[in-house]
Amino acid sequence: MKKTAINLTVNGRSRDAVVPPRMLLSDLIRHELALPGTHVGCEHGVCGACNVLVDGKAVRSCLMFAVQADGCEITTVEGFSAGGLDLVQTAFWEEHGLQCGFCTPGMLASAHELLAENPDPTDDEIREAIAGNLCRCTGYEYIIAAIRSAARKMRDAETAAKRQPA
Amino acid sequence: MKPAAFDYERPNDLAAALELLSCEEDTRILAGGQSLVPMMNARLARPKRLVDINRLPDLDYIRDEGTHVAIGALARHRDVKSSRLVRDHLPVIPAAYEWVAHAAVRNRGTLCGNLCHADPASEMPALMLLLGAEMVLTQASGTRIVAASDFFLGLYETAAGPGEMLTEVRIPKPARDTGWGFEEVGMRKADFAWATCAATMRLDGGRIAAPAAAVAGVGDRATRLAELEAAIEGQAPSDSLFADVAREVAVSLDPPSSVGVDAQYRRDLVGTLLPRALAAAARRAEEAKQ
Amino acid sequence: MASHLDSNVIPPSRQRETPRSGLTWIGQSMKRVEDPRILAGKGGYIDDVTVPGMAHAAMVTSPHAHARIVSIDTSKARALPGVIGVYTGQDLARVVDPCPSFASPPVPQHAIVLDKVRHVGEVVAAVVAEDRYVAEDAAELVEVEWEILPANVDIEASLEATGDAVIHPDDRDSNRALDESFQFGPVDEHFAAAAHVIKRRLRWHRSSAQAIETCGVVAQFDPISGSYTIHANTNFYNFIPFVIGGSLRVSPGELRIIPVLAGGSFGSKVFNHKILIRTAGLSRLAGVPVKYIEDRVEHFTNSDSHGSDRLYDAELAVMEDGTFKSLRFTVLDDYGAYLQFGVGTHGNAMAQVTGPYRIESFGMRVIAVLSNKTQQGPYRGFGSEVTNWVMERMADAAAKELGRDPVELREQNMIAADAFPYMIPTGNIYDSGNFQKVLAEAKGLFDLDAWRERAKALRAGGRCVGVGVATCMERSVYGPTEWWSLNNRETPGFTLTSTPEAITARVDPSGKLFVTLHSPMVGNSPETVVTQVLAERLTVAPEDVVINYSDSQSGFNSVGPQGSRFTAMIAGACVSASIKLEERLKRFGAYMLQRRPEDVELRDGCVAVVGSQDQKKTFAEIALTSSFFRLSFPEGEEYDSGIDCTAVYDHPISTDPDPERKHLGIFYPIVGHICHMVAVEVDPGTGKVEILDYAAVHDNGTIVNPRTLGGQVWGGTANGIGTALSEQFLYDADGQFTNPNFSEFAMPTANEMPRNFKLGHVETPSPYTEYGVKGGGEGGRLGAPSALTSAIEDALSDFGVTISSLPVTPPVLRGMIRAAQASG
């Protein structure tokens, strides 16, 4: 089978791979690039566990071929925590926004996308943003609380940064 | 659940893409992939070759063309949903998009790809019929324009031939005082619709003018309701009128029965949702007058 | 007066740590110890496991519900480059024996079928290849010739099947796998004396847990030692070697099961022995380590964890004044094609079948029906979620027929707060409770009176708004007699009575408390619970507790999280370990302080002289000295180096079933109580249900961590909402499973959840468990379906609709409304 050489930036690092066309992006990330934090729950694009950020947008990595990510910038859960747990992860910890943690990386990707576009979302906007991420453990309430809290933390951090003299 | 092997091409310009499409059988276009890839993962679809059009330049536009809005082959659902232009002139589209999949799927999926997939329970084909859109089909030898009413032929079947690409959708801008309504029921909000009903109309001296109505999820393809439109045109809007015409539509339909969702239920939904959509359209048309 | 329960004597409590206020760590919403690594994407789930030389398996599965295999041709698959081997059931049978069965007599099951498939998705051959893609390519190339047999889909029709429709014709001549009747107390007398006999036919349809992670295994056979090393996401890793060793033809000691973090279980990862056996066998046949991860469709169609699928004909004997006197029913349960644990899900339900009510006798006939569907397995509630619903349906039905207020009628029949421990007719006890207090709390939280007024007013205005109330039991901490107590008495099978939980603990020379667990994390909070209890009991800081997991060769005596047992059981093991460690710390510490052990106490991570502020030794000092300076202590074994211990905690209070089954003994005695109240609106034109308001009050005894308990209640309630409104496995007449995917099996998303969920707690501590802890992992699903059903029925009261079947999807509800409109 013909393979294609690709190059992509994953969590800030340039990565090369040689992939057959049919390899799913989720498999590339997990098995070829050895970043198992991205999870696979259904492989038909419904559960959202495999959500990653591709050029800043949350996408189902099970519905994209690895070869399509050539030249893209990808952020996975490992990228969010490169410098320790980030504000969103910390909020999930504090608010008990996870139980088994299997849906969490996808939830984090959706939350990051939401908060990048909408720093002060309503609960219904949060709900809508994570409605494409199935969780069987939490009943979602503490996830919503976590994203609400993360939004506040990020706004506070922004305000504090602005107050800092240049 | 892994796809079968296929050949992959990623042309850099439209001409190359059309050339690739024209020269081999069993080639599929890969745009957003949000319908095609799940089917490939389940091996329900196994094209021999994919032509990935995602790197084609200048096809992701949403453009004001005066009389109509032109949407290119690579415009993502997300962009159409949030487009100011679309919201201003075609507000029923973002309203319907609330029911289309979830954010991550809308980030990748394209309007044109969705239309070519022609899922009978999908919202956008019904809206294209409702709005009288035109499909620009391009192949190596040239371009033809097909009305939405001639485009959707059946279950997952469209007028796009082998070698043709839906490069643009042209959606006429309705008159500014057009009201709209959109109603849908599925198991969950983003699930495939058991029934979708959409309507637009104007009010002219308190009488219905230029009515349009379409349904999806209740047959092998989305359907425009010409008889209903004729029956309400020139009438004063009322709940009883809408209930009566919807009842006739519901009776005339032959919706599919599946395990757990019978045909009668889908008929009932049309009987319930269509009047609501018509009433909402009338109400908005009334508001637009003020 | 003599009673059938006279021989069931309640043993004395073995509780050592009494429930009390003023605890430091127990009762705190401490952030979970487990979370940082999981949040960083480093949890370590089964598909993250890679071993050198590992190959990948894919399955050839049955497209038919019931068919004989005429022939299998694997030649094309074997010829595909990258394929290591292709194996049929006959091949696997060279190295593997049939799967274990707790049913008695067993229903034989093979990890790959030999000659016949009994449900869609059953495995007929397996491919081992260099990668999963190639393995799936090869699986498609396996050619099977089938002889189609009649499919059994309907629960009642299955019982009448003959000839080719019989699913296991070599073992039994019908699809009736078990048919047993029980009378606990004078049922017939009570029914004869009743003023009203309420009758209902009630149907509970099949669904399953569908954790977001499927089941998976990485197995490696070592031909030199003849042993297996297996990574698996089973809940059961220290127990399952004894279950599957026989099938793999090795002693349990030759099976090393290495646990991983499991991505949710809700029961579905308890009995996953079939893929363990199959994958292990494949690794032996192929001569390479093999990874097999179920894809979602395989998890739906072949994971042996489908939930209850029952048809009840139930009767409630009610006295003139509304007293519930006796309950009896005949229940058919469609178990699918096999019967891995017999009717254990009905055994479970016997723990609380009469609900929170003083019902004096109970009778049952239970018929296990075989069908051409996937085998049942555990699912949050393990059968009790259904009897809770049946009991609450009967309570509502009684209220309706007697013209009584349903809440007031429930209150009238509730067991009084001073009547505990209370023995129900089946012999199980309710250790403690205050159901009236829970109900009162819920009424306040929900504002029941206001909601009822509002619903009535809205209904008068033509809206379909209703209010539902459920008052249910949440049994916790099971004893294993539930698995076999309903089996035929002559052939009861493996009648085990132990389901312990253990920890190993050591104070290391740096002063850290290293703890080894012998059960995995599956989404519960084992490390957090252990940290909180040990910090409490040993006065150490939580950050000084370090937790690890054993494998099955270094671990022992633990059964793991199921049946809402883990928190109570592991708290017991922690207390046992603490007592042992305390004794040792005091002995060494006292010697170092030149005091007697009885003169010192544990205080802030030190052994300190009672009454003295500064005369103390830190645990680090003591452990360091005891670990490295043997000559600093006297002769004698009691001063052997190191501060460590192993501690096992057995079930806190259980008894054997009566040999004649006059009662079933005490087996599930640590009971919580839950009250759910919900307001809904139904759109009569579409059948859609909107939840307007929701309140849940749970009494789970002493709460170790309010936030994690809240998460369980929320999650369970979401699960119960799905069960009630949208989740159902749908089969067509040929036995095709029509919705085995996440698009069509509709689990609630954030959009489907109530917007204003209110959670309340009452704490009635258990007199039997340490600190009075009770389990709380299932309650949401044990209450939500009943409350929602009542609310919907109330909302549709103007249509006269009676709900006797779950789930009530929009098409189902609309159908009921349409029928009512047509007749009315």
Min Cα separation A82/chain B (Å): 23
The token pair that represents A16 in the structure block? 């090369």
- Alpha carbon of B262 to those of B218, B258, C565, C635, C690: distances in Å? 11, 6, 43, 83, 22
Which of the listed residues C649, C683, C713 is the one where a domain comes to its end? C649
Strand intervals (E) in C341-433: 361-370, 422-423, 429-430
Q: What's the sign of the alpha-carbon dihedral C446, C449, C453, C455?
A: positive
Q: Which of A76, A133, A142 sits opposite C41 (nearest CB)?
A: A76
φ, ψ of residue C634 in degrees (nearest 5): -65, 170
In three-state form (DSSP H/G/I as H, E/B as E, the rest C), the secondary structure along C301-339 is HHCCCECCCEEEEEEEEECCCCCEEEEEEEEEEEEECCC
Q: Which residues are CB-neighbours of C179 under 8 A, at least 6 positions away?
A: C365, C366, C367, C368
Look up residue B208 and give its DSSP letter.
E
pLDDT digits (tens, 9 = 90+) for C360-411: 999 999 999 999 999 999 999 999 999 999 999 999 999 999 999 999 999 9
Which of the listed residues B125, B147, B172 is the one where a domain comes to its end? B172
- Three-class SS of residue C286? helix
Residue C415 belongs to a domain: no
Do B45 and B67 fall within a single domain? no
Share of chain C above pLDDT 70, in %: 100
Kindly give the pairing relationship between strand B152-154 and strand B165-172. unpaired
Do C522 and C634 fall within a single domain? yes
pLDDT at residue C602 above 80? yes
Do A74 and A91 fall within a single domain? no
- How large is the angle between the packed helices A87-95 and A141-163, nearest 10 degrees? 140
Q: How much is the pLDDT for A165? A: 67
Do A18 and A76 fall within a single domain? yes
Residue C417 belongs to a domain: no
How many structural domains is chain C composed of?
3
Q: How far apart are CA C228 and CA C220, in angstroms?
A: 6
Do B151 and B205 fall within a single domain? no
Do A101 and A145 fall within a single domain? yes
Do A93 and A47 fall within a single domain? no
CATH of the domain at C104: 3.90.1170.50
How many structural domains is chain A composed of?
2
Min Cα separation C86/chain B (Å): 18
Which of the listed residues A34, A60, A80 is the one where a domain comes to its end? A80
pLDDT digits (tens, 9 = 90+) for C16-28: 999 999 999 999 9
Do C370 and C452 fall within a single domain? no
Q: How much is the pLDDT for C727? A: 98
pLDDT digits (tens, 9 = 90+) for C179-220: 999 999 999 999 999 999 999 999 999 999 999 999 999 999
Contact B134, B147 (CB under 8 A): yes
State which residues form the domain around A109. Answer: 87-163
Residue C808 belongs to a domain: yes
The token pair that represents C524 in the structure block? 């519960």
Residue C12 belongs to a domain: no
Do C238 and C373 fall within a single domain? yes
Q: How far apart are CA C479 and CA C400, in angstroms?
A: 37
Do B188 and B272 fall within a single domain? yes
Q: Which residues are CB-neighbours of C489 under 8 A, at least 6 positions away?
A: C659, C660, C661
Contact A57 B6 (CB under 8 A): no
Min Cα separation C539/chain A (Å): 24
Residue B23 belongs to a domain: yes
Do C673 and C583 fall within a single domain? no
Share of chain B above pLDDT 70, in %: 100
Chain A residue whose CA is closest to B7:
A21
Contact A45 B34 (CB under 8 A): yes
pLDDT digits (tens, 9 = 90+) for C295-315: 999 999 999 999 999 999 999
From chain B, pick out residues whose CB is under 8 angstroms from the CB of A110: 103-104
Q: Which of C296, C749, C814 sits opposite B265 (nearest CB)?
A: C814
When pLDDT is averaged across residues C518-541 and rounded to a whole number, the result is 97
Backbone Cα Rg of chain C: 28
Do C261 and C127 fall within a single domain? yes
When pLDDT is averaged across residues C40-69 and rounded to a whole number, the result is 98
Q: How far apart are CA A76 and CA C231, in angstroms?
A: 25
Residues of A (26-85) whose Cβ lies below 8 Å from B:
27, 43-45, 48, 51, 57-60, 62-65, 67-68
When pLDDT is averaged across residues B74-87 and rounded to a whole number, the result is 98
Going by C-alpha positions, the residue among B197, C753, C244 that lies closest to residue A126 is: C753
Q: Exposed, middle or buried: residue C20 (CB in 10 Å: 0-12, 13-18, 19+)?
A: exposed
Residue B177 belongs to a domain: no
Do C691 and C633 fall within a single domain? no
CA A30 from centroid of its chain's CA atoms = 14
Q: How much is the pLDDT for A1? A: 65
Do B190 and B137 fall within a single domain? no
C140 touches chain A (CB under 8 A): no
Chain B residue whose CA is closest to A67:
B8
Q: Exposed, middle or buried: residue A95 (CB in 10 Å: 0-12, 13-18, 19+)?
A: buried
pLDDT at residue C680 above 90? yes
DSSP string, B110-174: BHHHHHHHT-TT-HHHHHHHHHT-EEEEEETTEEEEEEHHHHEEETTEESPPTT-EEEEEEEEPP
Do A53 and A16 fall within a single domain? yes
C749 touches chain B (CB under 8 A): yes
Which of the listed residues C322, C354, C383 is the one where a domain comes to its end? C383
Contact C686 B259 (CB under 8 A): no
CA C551 from centroid of its chain's CA atoms = 22
How many structural domains is chain B composed of?
3
Counting Cα atoms < 13 Å in the Cβ hemisphere of C168 gives 19
Q: How much is the pLDDT for A10? A: 98
The token pair that represents A40 in the structure block? 């696979």
When pLDDT is averaged across residues C622-632 and rounded to a whole number, the result is 97
Do C118 and C233 fall within a single domain? yes
Q: How far apart are CA C234 and CA C452, in angstroms?
A: 46
Look up residue C48 and give its DSSP letter.
G
- Alpha carbon of B3 to those of A33, C344, C395: distances in Å? 20, 40, 52
Do A55 and A122 fall within a single domain? no
Q: How much is the pLDDT for B88? A: 97
The token pair that represents C345 in the structure block? 């899900």
Going by C-alpha positions, the residue among B94, B277, B83 that lies closest to residue B197 is: B277
Contact B156, B263 (CB under 8 A): no
Written as one letter, the residue type at B183 is E
Do B66 and B126 fall within a single domain? yes
Interface test with B, best of A31, A63, A118, A127 (most B CBs within 10 A): A63
Counting Cα atoms < 13 Å in the Cβ hemisphere of B74 gives 13
Do C445 and C375 fall within a single domain? no
Q: How far apart are CA C524 and CA A165, in angstroms?
A: 46
Do B94 and B165 fall within a single domain? yes
Q: How many other C-beta atoms can be found within 10 angstroms of the C-beta atom of residue A3?
A: 12
Which of the listed residues B123, B143, B172 is the one where a domain comes to its end? B172
Do B82 and B136 fall within a single domain? yes
Average pLDDT, chain C: 97
Min Cα separation B113/chain A (Å): 14
Contact B187 C295 (CB under 8 A): no
Residue C58 belongs to a domain: yes
Which of the listed residues A54, A80, A106 is the one where a domain comes to its end? A80
Q: Which residues are CB-neighbours of C154 under 8 A, at least 6 positions away?
A: none
CATH of the domain at B45: 3.30.43.10
Look up residue C701 and give its DSSP letter.
B
Do B205 and B277 fall within a single domain? yes
Do B108 and B14 fall within a single domain? no
- Alpha carbon of A1 to those of A4, A21, A98: distances in Å? 10, 9, 41
pLDDT digits (tens, 9 = 90+) for A25-63: 999 999 999 999 999 999 999 999 999 999 999 999 999
Residue C412 belongs to a domain: no
Q: How much is the pLDDT for C740? A: 98
Min Cα separation B52/chain A (Å): 8
Do B265 and B213 fall within a single domain? yes
Do C460 and C540 fall within a single domain? no
β-pair partners for B30: B52
Sheet with C688-699: list strands edge to edge.
C464-476, C670-683, C688-699, C757-762
Do B158 and B227 fall within a single domain? no
pLDDT at residue B93 above 90? yes
pLDDT digits (tens, 9 = 90+) for C758-773: 999 999 999 999 999 9
Torsion of the alpha carbons at C328, C333, C339 and C340, rounded to the nearest 10? -70
Residue B2 belongs to a domain: no
Residues of A (86-125) whose Cβ lies below 8 Å from C:
89, 92-94, 96, 98-105, 108, 123
pLDDT at residue C48 above 70? yes
Residue ranges of chain A with per-residue pLDDT less than 50: none
CATH of the domain at C588: 3.30.365.10
pLDDT digits (tens, 9 = 90+) for C57-116: 999 999 999 999 999 999 999 999 999 999 999 999 999 999 998 888 889 999 999 999
State the pLDDT confidence band at C539, using cuts at 50, 70 and 90: very high
Contact A63, A26 (CB under 8 A): no
State which residues form the domain around B207. Answer: 182-284
pLDDT at residue C1 above 70? no
State the pLDDT confidence band at C511, using cuts at 50, 70 and 90: very high
Contact B140, B163 (CB under 8 A): yes
φ, ψ of residue B146 in degrees (nearest 5): -125, 130
Interface test with A, best of B12, B41, B97, B98 (most A CBs within 10 A): B41
From chain C, pick out residues whose CB is under 8 angstroms from the CB of A94: 31
Do C815 and C683 fall within a single domain? yes
Q: How much is the pLDDT for C492? A: 87
Average pLDDT, chain A: 97
The token pair that represents B285 in the structure block? 């048309």
Do C673 and C717 fall within a single domain? yes
Do C123 and C144 fall within a single domain? yes
φ, ψ of residue B13 in degrees (nearest 5): -145, 165
CATH of the domain at B160: 3.30.465.10
Q: How much is the pLDDT for C2? A: 83
State which residues form the domain around C542. Answer: 35-43+500-649
The token pair that represents C567 in the structure block? 């928190």
Do B187 and B273 fall within a single domain? yes
Which of the listed residues B145, B172, B199 is the one where a domain comes to its end? B172
Which of the listed residues A43, A60, A80 is the one where a domain comes to its end? A80
Q: How much is the pLDDT for A166? A: 55
Residues of A (57-86) whose Cβ lies below 8 Å from C:
76-78, 81, 85
Q: How far apart are CA C301 and CA C400, in angstroms?
A: 40
Do A73 and A14 fall within a single domain? yes
From chain A, pick out residues whose CB is under 8 angstroms from the CB of B74: none
Q: How far apart are CA A57 and CA C332, in angstroms?
A: 50
What ipTM describes this predicted complex? 0.98
